[in-house]
Amino acid sequence: MKDRPILFSGEMVMAILEGRKTQTRRVVKKIPCECGGWLPYEVSNTTPEGWQTIGHSGKWTCESCLNGPVKCPYGQPGDRLWVRETFSKGHPIDISHQYSGIRYRADGAVKDNGNEIGFLETTWTPSIFMPRWASRITLEVFNVGVERVQDIMWDEAIAEGIRVLPLQDANDPSAWWESAPGENQARTPVWSFKKLWDSINGKKHPWESNPWVWVIEFKKLEVNYAR
């Protein structure tokens, strides 16, 4: 079992905290071949010849030319992901880099570490700079897959954190869906996810380019606060 960091936006942190988000899709940055025939068949842990569509190695290769494999950077089933999110640090306590408190931007939650809370200023530290000790959310990976982003299904978009607007019926075909209050609204969860995807990845990997993505399914293990 390995621990790896993973970044989430504030709206997706809220979806995890509320139990609405159990999947995330991330761009496959290194395709194992250029033959154009890459299909996501997993290589078995035990034998290189053992093809599997669902397994536990987290390694994928090309069915056509057998180039590869490429390993999922987000781990394999059983590994853990600790969430990096935008945060603010309180006053330093000592030279060990411990602080009087941590504030999390997504929901404004504060942990004071048993000390008087005091924040240096109102600026936020980007999620990429969050250290492991400040992370409050731990996820366990239970499945890893590969597909084109446009292959996402209705229920999978909902598992990505897309929700029906308040006071609307999810079974009503005229209902609207969103990723957060007032954000990425569309008539279906898939199209709401499309808007969310482009808001995050649109510059380099827009929806229309239909990139290969890692599909990481996870469960929330705990919500802890800074130590």
The predicted-structure confidence for 63-92, as pLDDT tens digits, reads as follows 666 666 778 899 888 899 999 999 987 766
Distances (CA, A) of 205 to 106, 130, 200: 25, 25, 9
Kindly state the average pLDDT of the residues 31-53: 53
Strands across the sheet containing 102-104: 87-89, 102-104, 110-111
pLDDT the model gives residue 49: 40
Measured between alpha carbons, how far is 15 from 220 in angstroms, rounded to an integer?
A: 11
What are 161's two structure tokens? Answer: 């954190």
Kindly tell me the burial class for residue 132, based on how many C-beta atoms sit within 10 Å of its own C-beta (0-12, 13-18, 19 or more). Answer: exposed
For residues 30 and 52, the model is more confident at 30
Residue 165 is classified by DSSP as P
Name which residue leads in pLDDT, 208 or 38. 208
Give the Cα separation of 126 and 202 in Å (integer).
Answer: 20
Cβ(102)–Cβ(226) below 8 Å: yes
